[in-house]
Structure 1
Amino acid sequence: MQIFSKHIRLSLVALSLLLVTPVMAQNSGRDMPTFESFDLNNDGTLTESEMKEARKIRAKERQEEGRMQRSVKSHYEFSRIDSNEDGVVSKKEFEDHQTRRRR
């Protein structure tokens, strides 16, 4: 009886891991947005308003797909990405920020 009970527990643990793995993979950074998806006017830089609009578009797409949403404070995020504080985000600043987020 103990062997049977042990097998059931191991099976439940394995099943739990299988159910959690897709959720973890969804949040692993592989679906991070590209600079181009935020550069709505294709000028090679991002303004804070451009990033807000791109986030709205991305959030709507994710909602339509039934995916989970995260609340992000846009101004705080923009100021963290704009490392040289010139009021725009370059492609390099954006990619550096994405790299830091993947860690």
Structure 2
Amino acid sequence: MSTINSKIGLLMVFFCLAFVSFANAQQRGGEQKEPPTYAKLLEDMDANEDGKLEESEVKGPLKDEFTKIDTNEDGYISEKEFEDAPKPSGKRK
């Protein structure tokens, strides 16, 4: 009888852990982040605080697409260039 109770207890613990893990994964996956504003990017990335974003200061997808976004090829991404830039498609990693 105690073997059966032990198995049932272990099974209940397993299902509880599985449920908590699943619920936690669902909660994190459902969060949608808003894209950053140009002002937020300046705040986070403008290392020399000149009010401009140059290629050496940016990181992530913005750095990968710098030449496409810098349409006037002046070496900086202006607010207008940032606003006119194509938005990434698909899910983020």
TM-score band by shorter chain is 0.3 to 0.5
Which one has the largest radius of gyration?
A: 2
Relative contact order higher in (CA < 8 Å, ≥ 6 apart) = 1
Q: TM-score, normalised by structure 2?
A: 0.46
